[in-house]
Structure 1
């Protein structure tokens, strides 16, 4: 099977590129750090500020899998967020949150995270270059379409690409192959001629590849959400990049 630049595949290596949003186009890790600093100050006041990195790492790892249960349609949004908040409280010695106190916690969290949404410095230029190349671009995410549309707008990316598929589009999310195929349909490109770029090796790059797309894992510098071995990366058989600046070259432009 040929790669992106296989002979006879057309004038361009690919016709479309789909992007994940969180920690791919938007610095969600940074936004989470700001949001959790607020909730830690209010709900874990005994915790030294130096433990902020531990709090962030625990939240991002979501080791009990609550968010993935949500994206699989097994758990509601509020239920997974409340479960994650209480898991964080328990891990760092805080009081359990009942429904009312969770709503207050979540208001602090959301104010912090939304006020900190910002695009990665390499995002807008790469999208513009792809569009100038005649490549269709769009976004596919495991969050709700409206929420992610607001996020793109706040990050200055709303005019750069459409938000095509979110969790509410089909009622489930990645890694189900149907979400990738629906995004390709809306983008107007064939899966084999479409790349998907995301920051998670399994549910982004590998899942896209399994659905027939070109999987690209964006392994940005900094702490990973979960530990991934070199053997896992090699076995994945996907394109691996440390940033978006190398995307066009990796795809054969």
Structure 2
């Protein structure tokens, strides 16, 4: 029996999402999109709706990026153009995008912050002898910079550029467990999206954990039945403190 098995942990390893799990990316997007709105959108625009539009990816441009069907710059330009068209801004073509992205991405990067419970959660897992790493749908180098800026020391094991595609494909979770050195059934995956993270990890043979932070659901997640996910064998928790209690015991 391993040391962490001896203290009752349900898993030998935990794989983590980054955005809106460890790092408050929603808040960073909100700040960046407010800057975009001030520069490019009507003065009476609904900032909450703008944020929800960006995070929900209604045309599936970011989803295509995670499947390896397009590149990061193209998906972001197309999302910017759709955002402008939806909220009354001018079209964002190739000639206008670099300046747009300098404002958006520069503000976004300066706004990266860890959640208050993130560092303590990682520390708790390591104190219990549980291996910890990141599996993400962004590029490895980007997420390494983001975690460093947020003051978090967690290795990025798999990014969208590792296999050429990302979550919810089961290979991504299995590869994360392999690199972590744990078996999928003894590995949890913690993320903020019920389908792309928790259910996809569950279907890949891991323990899927949905981090359902209050007020943070995307538009298409607001009617997700948390009890149904629990009944199907997943963990649902409102914060990382509660996730740690469920996994470490």
* Shorter-normalised TM range: over 0.9
In structure 2, distance between residues paired with 1:232 and 1:242: 11
**Following TM superposition, by how much is the alpha carbon of 1:231 offset from its aligned partner in structure 2, in angstroms?**
3.9
Report the RMSD for the aligned CA atoms in angstroms.
1.5
Which residue matches 2:246?
Answer: 250
In the TM superposition, what whole-angstrom CA distance separates every residue of 1:121-143 from its partner, at most 9, and x where no partner exists? 00000100110100000011000
Q: Does 2:221 align with 1:227?
A: yes
Q: Deviations over 1:132-159 (max 9, x none)?
A: 10000001100000000000000000x2
- The CA distance in 2 between the partners of 1:106 and 1:232, in whole Å, is 36
Q: TM-score when scaled to structure 1?
A: 0.91
2:162 aligned to which of 169, 188, 210: 169
Asked if 1:146 is matched to 2:141, the reply is: yes
Aligned-partner Cα distance in 2 for 1:230–1:65:
19
Judge which range, 228-237 or 33-42, deviates more.
228-237
Preserved contact between residue 184 and residue 190 of structure 1 (Cα < 8 Å):
yes
Aligned position for 1:30? 27
User: Please, which moves more after superposition, 179-188 or 230-239?
Assistant: 230-239
In structure 2, the residue matched to 1:192 is: 185
Contact kept? 1:208, 1:214, Cα under 8 Å: yes
SS at match of 1:251: helix
Shift of 1:223: 4.0
CA distance in 2, matches of 1:208, 1:18: 10
Cα 1:150/1:173, change in 2 over 3 Å: same
> Which residue pairs with 1:241 in the alignment?
237
Give the CA deviation at 1:98.
1.5
Q: CA deviation at 1:87?
A: 0.5
Query: Is contact 2:201–2:207 with CA below 8 Å preserved after alignment?
Result: yes
Q: TM-score, normalised by structure 2?
A: 0.93
Structure 1's unaligned 5+ residue stretches are: 1-8
The alignment covers a number of residue pairs equal to 241
Q: Give the alignment partner of residue 207 of structure 2, picking from 208, 214, 230.
A: 214
